[in-house]
Structures are given as structure tokens and as C-alpha cells.
Amino acid sequence: MNKYWSELANRLDPYVPGEQPKDRKYIKLNTNENPYGPSPRVLEAIRNCTDESLKLYPDPTCDTLLTAAAEYYGVRKDQVFAGNGSDEILAFSYMAFFDPGKAILFPDITYTFYPVYAQLFNIEYKLINVAEDFEIPEKELYQSPGGVIIANPNAPTGKYMPLASVKRILDNNAASVVIIDEAYIDFGGESAVKLIEEYPNLLVIHTFSKSRSLAGMRLGFALGDSNLIKAINSVKNSFNSYTIDRLAIAAGIEAFRDVEYFEAARKKVMGTRERVSAEMAAMGFNVIDSKANFIFTSHPFVKAAAIFALLREKGILVRYFNKPRIDNYLRITMGSNTEMDVFLATVKDIVQAY
Amino acid sequence: MNKYWSELANRLDPYVPGEQPKDRKYIKLNTNENPYGPSPRVLEAIRNCTDESLKLYPDPTCDTLLTAAAEYYGVRKDQVFAGNGSDEILAFSYMAFFDPGKAILFPDITYTFYPVYAQLFNIEYKLINVAEDFEIPEKELYQSPGGVIIANPNAPTGKYMPLASVKRILDNNAASVVIIDEAYIDFGGESAVKLIEEYPNLLVIHTFSKSRSLAGMRLGFALGDSNLIKAINSVKNSFNSYTIDRLAIAAGIEAFRDVEYFEAARKKVMGTRERVSAEMAAMGFNVIDSKANFIFTSHPFVKAAAIFALLREKGILVRYFNKPRIDNYLRITMGSNTEMDVFLATVKDIVQAY
């Protein structure tokens, strides 16, 4: 026990993000960022707001940003919440919807921040084991005592759960909130946003860090029944009145409006994924079918940890999780086509050397 | 009880920030923003970072920003924490240092966010009544069961507590953390940062929203023993890995470096405060001696609520708190000299019409 720390601080085991190394220039395929920069219109919008007005607080209600979001999604403004990245929204959501003593359910292999929030807010959780092929056993998420969280597509597997399954999970959890974390949904999945009118217990969370190429600006959104959005706002306004700065608000508005750029960028990433998946399979890799901007893959005889280390030496960063069940897999973010050519050639060398 | 809300969400009573009206152009003297814009070097630094790199996550450790902060304050990097405004840092600090069941102490008249955090994190608190002249009775803050928070200068009174008192409070709370919230310290007070080597239980919190003219960018800092900073980092990394975006980091670094601009801006604000205080006193107002960028004042026969409403009609926003003990006071942020001339003339009209 550390004398000045709270009991909470003494028992925390924080989340560890993918490394952002400063020692040399890497091909970064380790944190699921977008290889293509933000829309030029977004950069222009930021520049136009970089003036004396930064002395003023941002709008705490993010009104114009919510309007842009509501227009894009075809929902009402009171069905949207804007936050400092989807991680902040997840944190607020634990406080808004989950209670100590009522266990929530999520898969054993998923975003590793979920159990960290549970620890931070003293929420019990029960892990649902995914199948050998990483499919989430839908029925085991029915009738949760305290709520459900599903990343869809799942991370770090990229595995996608069809909307029909999501609906059945919602139907079978009428008494508690089901969070669908759709950080990667723009890369080929069907969003559950269309279900929010139908399900008062559904909260869908999106991020601008992946498909919108704005990881550096910290923007995320929650969509759901206005009653759920109201609870998140209550928590947020008890925590920090202004979590999104003026330039991030400006960036977000323009990113929603520049649909053309967004469509082109996400399609390029999906094309790269299909090509890289095929080439990896041709090299003998087992590639999990992905609807995300990354692939999850293992090789029948070259260990993932070894490939990870050798790639790092060659200046290529991928993500390796030294955790039960996935410690022979690599998660590889889709870079630009040029970056992926270097990656594929390097992996080929590594595998052939064995 | 709302069905889908947690017990916590059901009992929250969130903080209400000063209004940011959109209906018309006001002279805004209600949220303690700086009348002078950010340093031109800061704006330039933001523009230089507005590029493709926004697709990448910010550095989660804010390393270069901490280096700039450490240099400015003359402390070590591990004695500084950077957050999304001082409000976020306060929230993290409640989690890091305070425990349910051990009451913390703070004055009855102070920043109204303190009891909101207590409610959010289920921390008991005991209010210490300030004197009639709003002085904080130092000795009543000794031997706190769970910790102490003092805004110094205090808000919304502007009243400053000398460092000798702060030291005695620290000496008499050796077993718990004392937070000195110095949001307004740059307007004439002496900072407790110089005490952090001496007191392992001292956390000093600063913001860039006031003296640094960057309310729109969301930046705050905590300074203290590395052991305290470590606990805040544990909480932050269990909550949101990246709370400060790339442009805010760039802005913060340059703001620390442009000392000349900072010194000139804060001195201008202090000069305005002295002039406005004197003119208000000449009109018969009771003006509390302020070391902040605002004054707290009441009139012997014209009610604060009436002045507030009449000023608003004339396009001038000040802050009025409809709360016991201070419901006949106005908190007036120092605007530019031109703005304050309009304000003083308008107040004179209002008072003379009575």
C-alpha cells in the first residue's frame, strides 16, 4: 500500500497502449491508425479556427458537432454524444449504466481496456470464451445480470458479428444496456446504429481514430436512445465540462461532411486488407476473416513472437499480445499499399528463413 | 429511478458551467477567460502541426510537453502530469487520492465542481465555513480525515491565502493529500509549486484556460511528488490513454516557451483588475480584494440579481450564483480595457437609476 494513494489507485493495473516509439522511423502497423491522412477539408477547417477564439472555452454541449453527427447518421441530435475518443465514452458509459454487484459480460478475447474499466469502477465482469475460430458464442451473452459489451468487429481478431445476432442479444437483455463498440465498423460491417430507435437498451460507440484518420484529434461518438445519452451527459458534466477542444470540434464537423473522402479512404483500406490477407494465406498463414482495418494471423510453424521481434528489427511494428489463447497471433494494421509491400516482402523473408 | 441508468447516474447532480450563449454577441465577463488571445507563437505552432500526422495517436505520455513544463517550473518531468484541463486532473485526483468513508475538507464557498466530484466518486466531504470577509479559516483544515482541497486564489471570491498558511495546512495534514488548485495563481499570488520538494503530500494544479488564454484547447497540469504523479497516471491510463490531442500538445509546449507574451498578458489583466476595483469601489461597491482575473463584488442597495439581469439585457454577461451567502454578489471576469469601459459605464447607469 502506498501511503498517499487511494485504495483504488493501489489496486489499479492500467491499460497499455501500443507503443509510439521515438527512437527511429518505423512502418507503424501496431495501433490501427489509418495510413491515409485526414481529409484536406478537415485540415483547412482546423486552420480556419486557429485564431484568437482559442482563448474561449469550447461549447460544452458540442451543439454544431452533434448537428453534423445527427445529419450524417440520420438520427436526432439528442441521440448522439460526442467525447474525447471512444475510450472516454466507454469510461463514462461504465459509470452511467453499470452497477457494482451486477456482473457485466464480454468475450475473453476482446479489447483489453474493458476489464481495466471494470477494475477502475469496481464493476464485476464474467468473461465469455470465444470459440476456437474466435467466434463469439452469442447465446452466452443472453440475460446478463449487469450489461454486455461487444466490440464489433471484435479486436484484436477482426471477426464480425452479423446484425441478426446483435438483435437477438438485445432482445435477450431487455433489462440492461448492451454496448456495441463499433470502432472498426466502417471497414465492411453493418452498423447497429439503425437499431437505436427500436432498442432503448442499445448504445453504439464510434471513433474517429480509425476510418476518419483523426486518432491525433481525439474524437468519439455514442449513439442511442436519448435517455441513455442523457445519462452519459450527466456523468460527463460531473467529470469535465469540456472534454473536446475547439479545433477537434471543427475537425469533427468537417470530417462528417466530407463523405466522399471518407468513402474513398475506407475502400482503399478494405482493398489492401483483401490483398494482404490473400498474400499471407498464400505464404501459409492462417488469416482470420476480418472486417476491420487490421488482420489477425498465425503461422503453422513460425512463432508469432519471433516474427514480431524480427519485424521490429527490420523497422516494422505490429502488435503482439502475450496472452493465453492468442500468444501465437499477430495483429497487423493495414498500412498504405507501399508499406504493405515492404511488410509482405519482409515477412516472406522471415518465413522462408525458417 | 431510471431503468437503464446506474444507481450513480440516478443520483448525480452535474456541474453547470457559465453560459456560452449563441443568441447574440455579448461582452463575456462570465467564465474567467482571458481577454487577450493566445500567443501568436502558439497559433503558429498549431498551424505547423495541422497536417497528415493527425492520423496518428498523440504521444500518450506527452513527453515533450512534460519536458517543456518541467523546464518552465524548474522541476523534474516525473513531478508533472498533463491533463485535458484542470477539471479532468481534479477528477483523476479524487480517484487517485481520496477514499470513500474518509471525509475530505474544503471551504463552503469555493469552486462548485468540488462537491460534484465528491458525489461522482462517492467521497464524503465536510464544508468549512469561510469568514464573513470570505477568508478561509486555516486551522479548520488541519487534520483532515481524507484530504483537503483549496482553490488559491479562491473562486468565486478571488481571495488569496498566503503561502505561510498553505505550509501550515500541509504540516498539519501529513497523512493525507492536500490539493492546491491554483487556476488563478498567475494573477498576483505566490505559487505553492516551490513547496513540492518539501511536501510529499502536496499536489498543485494549474490550468492554461486563464493566464495562458487557451481555454479552447483544454490543458491543465498537476505538479507534485513523483509518487503522487504516478498515481494520477495510473488512473488516467485506466480511463483514457490519450486525453490531450496533438494540437493541444503543440500549443502547450509553445505557450510554456513564450514567457514574454505570458508575462505581458497577465500584467495587463492585473492592471485592469486594479483599475476596475477602484472604480467599482468609487461607485459604492464592496469589492473583495482579488488576486485572480475576476472580482467579486456587491452593492449596498442594488441587488446583485438585478444588476446581473440588467447587464445581460445590455449585452454584458457576468456570473451570478444563486447560492446561500453569496447570492448578493457578482463575479466579474476582467475583459479588455475597452470592454471594461463599457461595463463600468453600464453599471454606473444601472446604479444611478436606482
Chain B contacts of A53, Cβ < 8 Å? 37, 216
Taking CB atoms and an 8 Å limit, are A238 and B117 in contact across chains? Answer: yes
Taking CB atoms and an 8 Å limit, are A245 and B243 in contact across chains? Answer: no
- pLDDT at residue A57, as a whole number: 94
Nearest CA in chain A to B121: A121
Domains for chain A: give ranges and CATH numbers: 7-36+260-352 (3.90.1150.10), 40-258 (3.40.640.10)
ipTM computed for the complex: 0.96
φ, ψ for residue A28 (rounded to 5)?
-90, 100
Rounded to a whole number, what is the distance in Å from the CA of A282 to chain B's nearest CA? 31
- pLDDT at residue A17, as a whole number: 80
Cis peptide upstream of residue B153 (ω within 30 degrees of 0): yes
Chain A contacts of B234, Cβ < 8 Å? 9, 12, 14
- pLDDT at residue A92, as a whole number: 98
| CB nearest to B240's CB, from A3, A13, A85 | A85
Q: What is the mean pLDDT of each run of 10 residues along chain B (354 residues)?
A: 92 85 85 96 98 96 97 98 98 98 97 97 98 97 98 98 98 98 98 98 98 98 98 97 97 98 98 98 97 98 97 95 95 98 98 90
Chain B contacts of A35, Cβ < 8 Å? 55
- pLDDT at residue B108, as a whole number: 97
Taking CB atoms and an 8 Å limit, are B217 and A247 in contact across chains? Answer: yes
- pLDDT at residue A184, as a whole number: 98
- pLDDT at residue A225, as a whole number: 98
Interaxial angle between packed helices B113-120 and B85-97, expressed in degrees from 0 to 180 and rounded to the nearest 10? 50
Strands B178-181 and A80-83: what pairing? unpaired
Taking CB atoms and an 8 Å limit, are A242 and B120 in contact across chains? Answer: no
**B114: enclosing H helix or E strand:** helix B113-120
Q: Is residue A152 within 8 Å of A185, Cβ to Cβ? A: yes
Chain B contacts of A234, Cβ < 8 Å? 9, 12, 14
Q: Whole-model pTM?
A: 0.97
Taking CB atoms and an 8 Å limit, are A55 and B34 in contact across chains? Answer: yes
Angle ∠(A153,A195,A174) on CA atoms, nearest 5: 95
Chain B contacts of A57, Cβ < 8 Å? 17, 20, 31, 33, 209, 215-216
* Angstrom distance (rounded) from CA A237 to CA A54: 21
Q: Is residue A147 within 8 Å of B4, Cβ to Cβ? A: no
Taking CB atoms and an 8 Å limit, are B56 and A4 in contact across chains? Answer: no
Three-state secondary-structure class, residue A351: helix
Three-state secondary-structure class, residue B119: helix
- pLDDT at residue A22, as a whole number: 73
- pLDDT at residue B354, as a whole number: 82
- pLDDT at residue B5, as a whole number: 96
B112: left (phi over 0), alpha (psi -120 to 50) or beta: alpha
Taking CB atoms and an 8 Å limit, are A55 and B88 in contact across chains? Answer: no
DSSP alpha helices (H): ranges in B207-258? 226-236, 246-257
* Angstrom distance (rounded) from CA A121 to CA B9: 13
Taking CB atoms and an 8 Å limit, are A239 and B120 in contact across chains? Answer: yes
Chain B interface mutation, best of A27, A50, A336, highest count of B Cβ atoms under 10 Å: A50
- Kindly give the confidence (pLDDT) of every residue in chain A, 354 residues in length, as a single tens digit, with 9 standing for 90 and above: 789 999 999 999 998 887 777 777 899 999 999 999 999 999 999 999 999 999 999 999 999 999 999 999 999 999 999 999 999 999 999 999 999 999 999 999 999 999 999 999 999 999 999 999 999 999 999 999 999 999 999 999 999 999 999 999 999 999 999 999 999 999 999 999 999 999 999 999 999 999 999 999 999 999 999 999 999 999 999 999 999 999 999 999 999 999 999 999 999 999 999 999 999 999 999 999 999 999 999 999 999 999 999 999 999 999 999 999 999 999 999 999 999 999 999 999 999 998
Rounded to a whole number, what is the distance in Å from the CA of B9 to chain A's nearest CA? 5
* Angstrom distance (rounded) from CA A341 to CA A224: 41
Half-sphere exposure (Cβ direction) of A311: Cα atoms closer than 13 Å: 30
Interaxial angle between packed helices A85-97 and A226-236, expressed in degrees from 0 to 180 and rounded to the nearest 10? 100
Three-state secondary-structure class, residue B349: helix
Taking CB atoms and an 8 Å limit, are A53 and B216 in contact across chains? Answer: yes
Taking CB atoms and an 8 Å limit, are B95 and A120 in contact across chains? Answer: yes
Burial class of residue B29 in the structure, from the number of CB atoms within 10 Å of its CB (0-12 exposed, 13-18 middle, 19+ buried): buried
Residues 6 or more apart whose CB falls under 8 angstroms from that of A156 comprise A109, A294, A296, A319, A321, A326, A329, A331
- pLDDT at residue A67, as a whole number: 98
DSSP alpha helices (H): ranges in chain A? 7-11, 40-49, 63-73, 85-97, 113-120, 163-171, 226-236, 246-257, 259-282, 304-313, 337-352
Nearest CA in chain A to B9: A96
Chain B interface mutation, best of A1, A8, A112, highest count of B Cβ atoms under 10 Å: A8
* Angstrom distance (rounded) from CA B203 to CA B93: 9
Strands B330-333 and B294-298: what pairing? antiparallel
Q: Is residue A170 within 8 Å of A201, Cβ to Cβ? A: yes
Tens digit of each residue's pLDDT (9 = 90 or more) over B210-258: 999 999 999 999 999 999 999 999 999 999 999 999 999 999 999 999 9
| CB nearest to B4's CB, from A52, A87, A200 | A200
Rounded to a whole number, what is the distance in Å from the CA of B280 to chain A's nearest CA? 25
- pLDDT at residue B25, as a whole number: 86
Beta bridge partners of B82: B221
DSSP characters over B250-281: HHHHHHHH-HHHHHHHHHHHHHHHHHHHHHHH
Chain A interface mutation, best of B48, B63, B234, highest count of A Cβ atoms under 10 Å: B234
φ, ψ for residue B333 (rounded to 5)?
-70, 145
- pLDDT at residue A289, as a whole number: 97
* Angstrom distance (rounded) from CA B189 to CA B198: 19
Taking CB atoms and an 8 Å limit, are B231 and A5 in contact across chains? Answer: yes
The three grid cell numbers given for residue B220, joined into one nine-digit string: 491543465
- pLDDT at residue A20, as a whole number: 74
Neighbour count for residue B24 (Cβ, 10 Å) = 6
**B295: enclosing H helix or E strand:** strand B294-298
Taking CB atoms and an 8 Å limit, are A2 and B43 in contact across chains? Answer: no
Q: Would you give the end-to-end CA distance of chain B in angstroms?
A: 48
Half-sphere exposure (Cβ direction) of B20: Cα atoms closer than 13 Å: 17
